[in-house]
Structure 1
Amino acid sequence: GSVFFAAAMGFYPQLGIVDAAFCVLVDGVQHNLRASRRSGGERLGLSVGPISIAIDAPLEQLTLRVAANDGPLAGELHFTARHFPIEEPRFTRRNGTRLFMDYTRMTQNGDWSGWLSVDGQRVEVGTDWAGTRDRSWGIRPVGAAEPQPPQGNFHQFFWLWTPCNFADRSLFFHSNDDGEGAPWNRRAVLVGGDGAERHYADPAFAAEWQPGTRRLSKLTADFDGSTRLTLTPSGPIFAMSGLGYTHPLWGHGFDHGDLEVAHDSLSEAERLWGNPLAMHVQSLVRADLADGDRSDSGIGVLEQLFVGPHAPTGLTGLMDPA
């Protein structure tokens, strides 16, 4: 857990925009590289400025390249899947009568290899580096804000996502809940070493909060009478604004002209609770899975975005701390 990296690439054909980001968290500092270009209707060009992706074997292998640029980040990273992707239930949500999101997503754990560098310091990435990738398509709130938003506009959003890697298994759990705690999209999937999937349609979970924040200190999820996942934060916080989420200038689908590339960084202090750039976060976690007579320990991330109330966990107000 000494080095954490993340990357994203988004195509918005209705806006004519493609954007990408690459972030590395090391020595307490999160370095962010972002790029955006106009697509001209082209959907097959998998490069934005210095960031590019190559599909080496569909649904099995890909390569992420970050060419040298005027910022501190570069690298060449290869992803090899551990299993066939899982498909999450379709996400459909409305604000009043207006469609807010309607998309489908597949998710896949895998191993990473290659190298990355920060300020010229090279880090070798071995095959013992575990991670996750996802691919979604459909409708999301992207681009410039609506000039005439619907009544009762965005005031509540509860999101948990927990991809976990174990020695020979993968586990995924997510939950979108309304303010009363009723899930409108929740699922868990346990993928065995042989690729067999066990689906849990209605898991239950319990949250413990870091005092004075909306950040979790522990999450426990019960999938059935004999399968329980416990997640405990074990590393630094990664701010999803590095990838564009909720960023006021580099939000997904924003128009920056024919091509623009930018970079910045977030210190550990700047990623503390209270900074709007660090409300949507991922935390590196220790994952402990009890499955009948079997126990596994591994690593994962705990993605969290909590806006508005959530009765079962005690959240009230728009951003009141727990």
Structure 2
Amino acid sequence: MPEDHTSTTGFHDALVTPGETGLPERFFDRFMFNLHPRDALTPSVIVGAGLYPGRNVIDGFALVTLPEQQRNLRFSTELDTTDGAGVGPLSWSIDEPLERWHLRLAPNETGFEFDASWQARALPWSGDVTVRGDDGSVTSSFEHLFQSGHYTGTASLDGVTLDIDGWYGQRDRSRGVRTMSGGQGLHLWFQAQFDDRSIGFLLVEDRAQARLLLEGAVMPVGGSLDEIVDVRHDLRFTDQLDLEGGTVEVRTASGEMYRIGVDASAKGGHMSGGGYGGQHGHPRGLDHVEFDVYPLDGSVSPRSVDTALTDRMTVFEWAGRTGIGILEFAHSRSASYTYQPSLDR
């Protein structure tokens, strides 16, 4: 069970260097950014990378979701052959920690490329999480941060120039040793972007609907964090474990309550395309690249790919206002789990 998770602004934003020593063999240092318009569900783009010094691996991915298909690019190389600031077509620099990153995705098989700055629009949520097994041993110990921002720069898709200035972008950073598989029933990484605030949390429940983890905050633009202390949900899943929509109720430390309608009927966002089915951190030699395409005609679902984890572009409704953002979800494929709403408990 999680032992503690506390908000802090002391997160060290820079990734470890390739020559870092004395780290556990399973240690990772990862980031993920998404890019999407403020008023449309496609294109939805997710890029990310991870460093694994104990395995001498650096790898990354780029996912591009369009109305009829999801394009997946995965790449990996040996960490000691790099400067730790790029892998495959993806490179990055931190212009100002916790405030501004520069990201570049060079020409690649997805057809999407960009050269842009991500600028924070709210304070980050960050915390330290320790997870212990049934025998009391530490199975995971990691730092976690997420933050809302927006982009300026240039991009193109299949040779067509896109205006991405003002596009939303939520980022996620994590560092440490993490093993959260086994016993999970429901996973939600909820990132609702409204014009004046972001509502973000990570919720994990076990197969008996008991809460394993809750961390997050309402993050006003230019304001201070309001920690989320409770989340209840009433969601609709298909028999293929895909999320259609529902209602999420969020309560904060200040006493605010947000009742948020969720429309997740858009397609794609299957994180298996980015190697999230257990592929991250495995040595694959120099300059390894994989590319494939998921048709979004119903033949690919959270039940059919190698992980149910899905980052879905979602429309949120709250107090007569419309927001947009990523809702990452995973419904266990175990026969021992049946989703049960918690909203009216």
Normalising by the smaller structure, the TM-score range is 0.7 to 0.9
Among 208, 220, 224, which residue is 2:247 paired with?
220
Give the number of equivalent residue pairs: 294
**1:37 maps to what in 2?**
77
Hey, what's the Cα distance between the residues in 2 that align with 1:190 and 1:100?
A: 29
**2:42 maps to what in 1?**
2
How has the CA–CA distance of structure 1 residues 95 and 267 changed in structure 2, closer, same or farther, with 3 Å as cutoff? Answer: farther
Hey, what's the Cα distance between the residues in 2 that align with 1:75 and 1:283?
A: 21
TM-fit CA distance, 1:197? 1.4
What aligned pairs does 1:254-269 form with structure 2 within 5 A after superposition?
Answer: 254-269=282-297
Hey, what's the Cα distance between the residues in 1 that align with 2:58 and 2:194?
A: 34
SS in 2 for 1:263: strand
TM-fit CA distance, 1:55? 1.1
SS in 1 for 2:54: coil
1:52 has 2:91 as partner? yes
How has the CA–CA distance of structure 1 residues 135 and 261 changed in structure 2, closer, same or farther, with 3 Å as cutoff? Answer: same
Post-superposition Cα deviations, 1:262-310, rounded to whole Å, max 9, x if no partner, equal 32221113433532246221221111224xxxx5321122111122344
**1:137 maps to what in 2?**
175
Hey, what's the Cα distance between the residues in 1 that align with 2:96 and 2:193?
A: 22
Query: Match for 2:102: what amino acid?
Result: T
1:61 has 2:100 as partner? yes
Aligned-residue identity in percent: 25
Among 127, 132, 145, which residue is 1:106 paired with?
145
Hey, what's the Cα distance between the residues in 1 that align with 2:81 and 2:156?
A: 33
Query: Match for 2:61: what amino acid?
Result: A
Hey, what's the Cα distance between the residues in 1 that align with 2:114 and 2:90?
A: 9
TM-fit CA distance, 1:124? 2.7
Q: More deviation in 199-208 or 223-232?
A: 223-232
Among 33, 50, 55, which residue is 1:15 paired with?
55
Contact 1:6 / 1:24 at 8 angstroms: preserved in 2?
yes
**1:198 maps to what in 2?**
226
Post-superposition Cα deviations, 1:193-234, rounded to whole Å, max 9, x if no partner, equal 332211122222222223x23222223222347432221115
TM-fit CA distance, 1:259? 2.1
Hey, what's the Cα distance between the residues in 2 that align with 1:226 and 1:65?
A: 39
Query: Match for 1:313: what amino acid?
Result: Q
**1:299 maps to what in 2?**
324
Q: Which of the two has greater strand per residue?
A: 1
TM-fit CA distance, 1:71? 5.9
Runs ≥4 in structure 1, deviation > 6 angstroms? Answer: none
**1:319 maps to what in 2?**
none
What aligned pairs does 1:238-257 form with structure 2 within 5 A after superposition?
Answer: 238-246=269-277, 251-257=279-285
TM-score by length of 1: 0.82
Hey, what's the Cα distance between the residues in 2 that align with 1:118 and 1:202?
A: 40
How has the CA–CA distance of structure 1 residues 91 and 162 changed in structure 2, closer, same or farther, with 3 Å as cutoff? Answer: farther
Post-superposition Cα deviations, 1:126-162, rounded to whole Å, max 9, x if no partner, equal 21x11200110011259xxxxxxxxxx8354421111
Query: Which consecutive unaligned segments of at least 5 residues does structure 1 have?
Result: 143-152, 315-322
Contact 2:52 / 2:281 at 8 angstroms: preserved in 1?
yes
TM-score by length of 2: 0.77
Hey, what's the Cα distance between the residues in 1 that align with 2:197 and 2:273?
A: 29
Query: Which consecutive unaligned segments of at least 5 residues does structure 2 have?
Result: 1-40
Hey, what's the Cα distance between the residues in 2 that align with 1:99 and 1:222?
A: 31
Contact 1:62 / 1:78 at 8 angstroms: preserved in 2?
yes
**2:304 maps to what in 1?**
275
